[in-house]
Structure 1
């Protein structure tokens, strides 16, 4: 069940064109004087010109999580992915790969496909019926009395796309960063047993958060605020990100329970030959990553009030439901939870400097039957509520960052992944602006 469409029309300023050298110098100064261990200055969250540079430097040059193959299971299936000024068609091809095409007709620029998802053979622009093949070649553009022209010069513009362990990534750069392949080698063994290529979409939720995309990502990268997630705290230990030295008094019992559960999980992973170790290279490589397999509270199986499984069907060739969650963060726009009974993917897609679309997709085993093997409301309840709570937190931060009295504040020790995200962002922006 895919979510309905949401209007993602960006503000005119997000085209990224015409940023004056003086403005770039100002942005360069902001990046240079960024204080380590502190949040960014206000323009990073509020300035439309800086947002335009974000779109070119980050979303225009790096590999971006777009969708899962479960969203485009058959040849001809497509999803449209929009962020900033860009609209892309991600189309499953006959070779079990994806074609990534800019959703801009080469006649007068109309959107070619206007639905968020669907199935198509050829791509037909609804304005003047220019028709393109699934590979983007122009195959029909005629009108009575017109002089012939070279159709080969008017193919849809293409972007790069690749599928890794059932996840689809796209890159708009002419020459994409090459270290993504090395990052893929890190996470493929963790994801492979879940066999996402055989999963199906149970539900998809689109939420527009009134906040800059970086605030969305910062909020995701820490659990300092997890007291504000009562549903999630039933199964996710709220001590995530803490150490022996930083556990507050009121969480000491939870910390001990977490340690015992993690030791039990690691024992089972070793028995089954599943990787579980923490790999954390969030700001030390271009394709930044953190991945690990971590215990859940209660029965340790899923995001439910008692930690019990939410679907009766195991994914892939997993041997056991009680495998906690494999948690993965990828820079710059995604995070994931891979469980024994289902998978949840999250993608953040900037709209403008103060709005971000957060797309959450729940995947279950292909043979899982709604109402028999899982209850959809129960499957989605915890993260639906958590997403709404996170939306409220992000919007509070956006309001604060827009205040004349805002100034960067210090990150706590448990927020080290927020610091790593900002370090990664500053490095990539400096490389671009330079």
Structure 2
């Protein structure tokens, strides 16, 4: 390389499409010579130029989990979703469908909707009152003296969306990746029985983690650190991600209990016609996925100290609380836990190269009554604590990546899903740079 990577990447650059040719060559080489089985070089986690490329190559090109349909129960309900330089409005229309619009007024670029969620009819920009329909069409713009102003040319820009099993995904690329529908066909049968259309938000938590978005995702993709989650370890077997031959002595008894619980769970799934098999294509398809139904410890029903249910209301058409958790990972920004009594969705939205918003949403049956059918503090306790612990782990790694002493370290065998995420990421950026 003609210059040290750290020197090259000190100053903030433009998106990949407008970088100087020598910068593109240097960054391409950085990706090409990434050492398989090791964490990434420091600039991947610290440099604003690479962050800009991530926003263009990953969040500007691929399907991103934005929200669930439970967050938009009525026509006119909306959420705003911000990541990197982008801001989107995700809106339920009068026909029950979903529209996704860029939250940028076509007059002078002001944010149109400024609240994180709410209900609206037409969308009115607070700057000069340009008014748009829920589909984004410009319906009113006061233009004194203008005789050639064509409102039809100035509607809000639209983004693509897909709603699968009650989960809303968005893509701002002109031509979205085409294999997402195939991935949706994989996970829809697992999630449909929980019926998100008949759920409501019990609680939503937004945490800013002082770490690069990739560190947030890496942390989620392994349980090597799960000794640091005492609340979660009450119900989630700490042997998750391990296989025969990798079980440490102090977890052998837990491993045996896990295998017995998993066998019982699979018997119940076959009885109820629920899919449970592991599907793992994290880096072998563009819309990477891992999904399975896994047993929980204790009563095997929910994320509680004894594994007992946390809501008295079953979801959808499920017939049994003791169904463990249906766990799904999707590249690049989400993971999910679907249980018999509630659902938890996790969305990762990059803020800048060293900050990431992690949004966690707890969903319960729409007829569940707080204080009667569930205790909100108990419902959210395990993952609130786990999120705070993960925030601390991510921030430790971000500080380390900023040290001159940092160099990539090896992933352990139990961290194979981290390697798969990084491999997926590198492939996607290389495709973009090419």
User: TM-score band, normalised by the shorter chain?
Assistant: over 0.9
Alpha-carbon shift at residue 14 of structure 1 (Å): 7.9
Alpha-carbon shift at residue 146 of structure 1 (Å): 3.1
Question: Using the alignment, how far apart are the partners of 1:58 and 1:144 within structure 2?
Answer: 43
- Partner of residue 196, structure 1: 196
User: Which shifted more, 13-22 or 348-357?
Assistant: 13-22
| Equivalent residue runs for 1:53-72 within 5 Å | 53-72=53-72
- Partner of residue 309, structure 1: 309
- Partner of residue 137, structure 1: 137
- Equivalent residue of 2:267, what SS? helix
| TM-score normalised by L of structure 2 | 0.96
Alpha-carbon shift at residue 22 of structure 1 (Å): 2.0
Question: Using the alignment, how far apart are the partners of 1:48 and 1:317 within structure 2?
Answer: 47
- Partner of residue 281, structure 1: 281
Answer yes or no: is 1:48 the counterpart of 2:45: no
- Partner of residue 7, structure 2: none
Alpha-carbon shift at residue 21 of structure 1 (Å): 2.2
Question: Using the alignment, how far apart are the partners of 1:212 and 1:301 within structure 2?
Answer: 34
Answer yes or no: is 1:408 the counterpart of 2:372: no
Answer whether contact 2:219 2:394 (CA < 8 A) is retained. yes
Alpha-carbon shift at residue 12 of structure 1 (Å): 8.5
- Partner of residue 77, structure 1: 77
Alpha-carbon shift at residue 86 of structure 1 (Å): 0.1
RMSD: 1.3
Answer whether contact 1:14 1:352 (CA < 8 A) is retained. no
Question: Using the alignment, how far apart are the partners of 2:363 and 2:178 within structure 1?
Answer: 29
Alpha-carbon shift at residue 18 of structure 1 (Å): 3.9
- Partner of residue 167, structure 1: 167
Alpha-carbon shift at residue 163 of structure 1 (Å): 0.5
Question: Using the alignment, how far apart are the partners of 1:30 and 1:97 within structure 2?
Answer: 43
Answer whether contact 1:91 1:98 (CA < 8 A) is retained. yes
Question: Compared with structure 1, are the counterparts of its residues 76 and 15 closer, same or farther at alpha carbon in structure 2 (3 Å cutoff)?
Answer: farther
- Partner of residue 377, structure 1: 377
- Partner of residue 241, structure 2: 241
- Equivalent residue of 2:159, what SS? strand
| Equivalent residue runs for 1:198-277 within 5 Å | 198-277=198-277
Question: Using the alignment, how far apart are the partners of 1:136 and 1:15 within structure 2?
Answer: 27
Question: Using the alignment, how far apart are the partners of 1:158 and 1:29 within structure 2?
Answer: 35
Question: Using the alignment, how far apart are the partners of 2:16 and 2:64 within structure 1?
Answer: 18
Answer whether contact 1:14 1:85 (CA < 8 A) is retained. no
Answer whether contact 2:327 2:335 (CA < 8 A) is retained. yes
Question: Using the alignment, how far apart are the partners of 1:338 and 1:226 within structure 2?
Answer: 20
- Equivalent residue of 1:218, what SS? helix
Question: Using the alignment, how far apart are the partners of 1:28 and 1:49 within structure 2?
Answer: 13
Answer whether contact 2:15 2:56 (CA < 8 A) is retained. no
- Equivalent residue of 1:202, what SS? strand
Alpha-carbon shift at residue 25 of structure 1 (Å): 1.4
Question: Compared with structure 1, are the counterparts of its residues 109 and 401 closer, same or farther at alpha carbon in structure 2 (3 Å cutoff)?
Answer: same
Alpha-carbon shift at residue 95 of structure 1 (Å): 2.6
| Equivalent residue runs for 1:179-194 within 5 Å | 179-194=179-194
Q: Deviations over 1:375-410 (max 9, x none)?
A: 000000000000000000000000001111111100
Alpha-carbon shift at residue 145 of structure 1 (Å): 2.6
Alpha-carbon shift at residue 27 of structure 1 (Å): 1.3
Answer whether contact 2:13 2:19 (CA < 8 A) is retained. no
Q: Deviations over 1:116-158 (max 9, x none)?
A: 0011110000000000011111111114333340111111011
Question: Compared with structure 1, are the counterparts of its residues 63 and 168 closer, same or farther at alpha carbon in structure 2 (3 Å cutoff)?
Answer: same
- Equivalent residue of 2:106, what SS? coil
Question: Using the alignment, how far apart are the partners of 2:403 and 2:146 within structure 1?
Answer: 57
Answer whether contact 1:14 1:51 (CA < 8 A) is retained. no
Alpha-carbon shift at residue 17 of structure 1 (Å): 7.2
- Partner of residue 365, structure 2: 365
When the two structures are aligned, how many residues end up with a matched partner?
424
Alpha-carbon shift at residue 173 of structure 1 (Å): 0.6
| Equivalent residue runs for 1:269-348 within 5 Å | 269-348=269-348
For structure 2, the 5+ residue unaligned runs are 1-10
| Equivalent residue runs for 1:99-110 within 5 Å | 99-110=99-110
Question: Compared with structure 1, are the counterparts of its residues 301 and 14 closer, same or farther at alpha carbon in structure 2 (3 Å cutoff)?
Answer: farther
Answer whether contact 2:16 2:24 (CA < 8 A) is retained. no
- Partner of residue 4, structure 2: none
Question: Using the alignment, how far apart are the partners of 2:310 and 2:212 within structure 1?
Answer: 33
Alpha-carbon shift at residue 24 of structure 1 (Å): 1.7
Question: Compared with structure 1, are the counterparts of its residues 70 and 175 closer, same or farther at alpha carbon in structure 2 (3 Å cutoff)?
Answer: same
Answer whether contact 2:72 2:92 (CA < 8 A) is retained. yes
Question: Using the alignment, how far apart are the partners of 1:215 and 1:324 within structure 2?
Answer: 27
- Partner of residue 352, structure 2: 352
- Partner of residue 155, structure 2: 155
For structure 1, the 5+ residue unaligned runs are 1-10
- Equivalent residue of 2:87, what SS? strand
Question: Using the alignment, how far apart are the partners of 1:319 and 1:135 within structure 2?
Answer: 39
Alpha-carbon shift at residue 281 of structure 1 (Å): 0.2
